[in-house]
């Protein structure tokens, strides 16, 4: 269970640290990665959803055995972007920087899956 605590805590902290600055760089994103954001309501809604997941990871890290039923959803959260990033990078539709973020999500997704399998075995 300690492994799962470390994995989810690390994912949550890294995620919060990556997402919070995005609330303050909307205009810069449009300058460095054109085109500019034309629908900020979608941008900020997505940030809120992603931030909520990071908080959920921190909650799971407090007692992974208690929240083991939620871990498959956490895996979907991580794998959904990782798979999308790999496909889009292969189609030359994604920058290397965003692809690396996708790989980080893939690694956390795999670690989440390992946590889930280990916790189910411990609980049984």
76-116 pLDDT tens trace: 999 999 999 999 999 999 999 999 999 999 999 999 999 99
* Helices within 1-124 (DSSP H only): 2-19, 26-32, 40-62, 71-90, 96-123
Per-residue pLDDT band at 4 (split at 50, 70, 90): very high
Please write the tens of the pLDDT for every residue from 9-51: 999 999 999 999 999 999 998 888 888 999 999 999 999 999 9
Residue numbers of the domain that contains 38: 2-123
Counting the structural domains of the chain, the total is 1
Per-residue pLDDT band at 124 (split at 50, 70, 90): confident
The span from the CA of 74 to the CA of 76, in Å, is 5
């Amino acid at each position: 269970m300690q492994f799962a605590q470390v994995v989810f805590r690390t994912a949550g902290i890294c995620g919060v640290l990556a997402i919070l600055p995005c609330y303050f760089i909307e205009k810069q994103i449009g300058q460095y990665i054109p085109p500019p954001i034309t629908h900020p309501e979608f941008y900020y809604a997505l940030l809120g959803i992603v931030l909520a997941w990071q908080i959920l990871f921190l909650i799971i890290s407090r007692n992974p055995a208690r929240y083991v039923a939620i871990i498959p959803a956490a895996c979907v959260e991580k794998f959904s972007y990782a798979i999308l990033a790999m496909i889009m990078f292969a189609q030359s539709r994604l920058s290397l920087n965003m692809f690396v973020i996708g790989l980080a999500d893939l690694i956390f997704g795999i670690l989440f899956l390992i946590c889930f399998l280990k916790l189910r075995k411990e609980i049984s």
